[in-house]
Structure 1
Amino acid sequence: MTYTHLIAATALALAAAGAHAQAPSAVTPPPVPEAANATTAAAVPAPVEVVARQAGFVKTLKGSVQLQEAAGAAARPAQAGDALLPGGRITTGPDSAASVVLRDGTTLVVGPSSQMELKAFSFDMTTHEGTLLAALLKGSLRMITGLLGKAHPEAVRIETQFAFVGVRGTDFIVQADEQP
């Protein structure tokens, strides 16, 4: 990752964090659009089901960002407000980035030429208990922890090809290069 890319990813994260700081403490997911017609309705989960499973949403994006809703599903261009479900994957192109806000307030900023999969996420707003497991398959990721990471840091993990990152702070950047 070049210094310029790091600066761009940090700026995107700060903008997302600033917007999050002005928002109410409980993260409200964006509305889920209804299916356009009966043929797509069968392929798309019901809006209530999506909101119930939703881990977070795409807050901001820059450049070419693809969203894959589940393993084996086709990737599509991401848009601000798109739901991110456990098992979902975000892929960014060169000079691209995306920030995702999870239900507990955690902000994930996926840097240029990166791929991140949200393997597992659960969060109870009452007890602040749950789990967060994300895999950085390549590229860079900046994470600003939310309520889960602050209350139960042992429940938050980032996986790369070579190591697991356990959260002990509230803001960090991790990079995973592809194998030569």
Structure 2
Amino acid sequence: MKFKQWGVNLIFLACCVMGAQAQSVGILKSVQGKVGLNQPSAVRSVYAGDGVQTADRIVTGSGSSATLTLKDGSVVSVGPNSTLMLTDVKFDTTTQEGSLILNLVQGSIRMVTGWLGKVHPDQVKVITPTSVVGVRGTDFIVEVP
């Protein structure tokens, strides 16, 4: 009887892990210096290999940076003293549809767009405190003082 309960717990744990991975919209490929991830439920330091989700806020300190790769293949490099919110990041690998809206509160990013930027550029936007950048190219830099 105990073996059966242990098996049920193992299946539950596997489902929880798979569910957490399914919600990830990208992965941090590199982290240099002090980088934090503010999630709706907590604030934590991050490391290369950590997943990111919609509504996460990436915060870099002085002399710090992070690079993340999103599910559509977009690569976003976050510069020092920056705050970047992943406002609306969705990509369905089956239908190749989605949207990518980033909110650069302060600092700088460099973005090389993936599938969405190349095929559906109207679905990719970077919002700053004073403007909205619509993507018309595949490699660009945005800075906010």
Q: Is TM more than 0.5 here?
A: yes
Does 2:33 match 1:63? yes
The separation in 2 between residues aligned to 1:58 and 1:66, in whole angstroms, is 11
- Whichever residue aligns with residue 146 of structure 1, its letter is G
- Whichever residue aligns with residue 29 of structure 2, its letter is K
The separation in 1 between residues aligned to 2:18 and 2:30, in whole angstroms, is 23
- Whichever residue aligns with residue 75 of structure 2, its letter is T
Structure 1 unmatched ranges of 5 or more:
1-44
> Percent identical across equivalent pairs?
43
Structure 2 unmatched ranges of 5 or more:
1-14
What is the aligned counterpart of 2:109 among 138, 141, 150? Answer: 141
- Whichever residue aligns with residue 59 of structure 1, its letter is K
Which string of whole-angstrom CA distances, capped at 9 and with x for unpartnered residues, describes residues 45-99 of structure 1? 93222211110011001110001233xx321111111110000110000000000
Which string of whole-angstrom CA distances, capped at 9 and with x for unpartnered residues, describes residues 82-141 of structure 1? 110000110000000000000111001000000001011111223321100110010001
- Whichever residue aligns with residue 83 of structure 1, its letter is G
Q: Where does residue 124 of structure 2 map in the other structure?
A: 156
Max radius of gyration: which structure?
2
The separation in 1 between residues aligned to 2:38 and 2:19, in whole angstroms, is 17
Q: Where does residue 97 of structure 1 map in the other structure?
A: 65
- Whichever residue aligns with residue 157 of structure 1, its letter is K
Residue 162 of structure 1 aligns to a residue whose secondary structure is: coil
What is the aligned counterpart of 1:81 among 33, 40, 49? Answer: 49
What is the aligned counterpart of 1:116 among 65, 68, 84? Answer: 84
TM-score by length of 1: 0.70
Residue 46 of structure 1 aligns to a residue whose secondary structure is: helix
Task: Give the length in aligned residue pairs.
Answer: 131
Q: CA RMSD in A?
A: 1.3
| Large movers: runs of 4+ above 6 Å | none
Residue 154 of structure 1 aligns to a residue whose secondary structure is: helix
Does 2:128 match 1:125? no
Report which of the two has the higher share of strand: 2
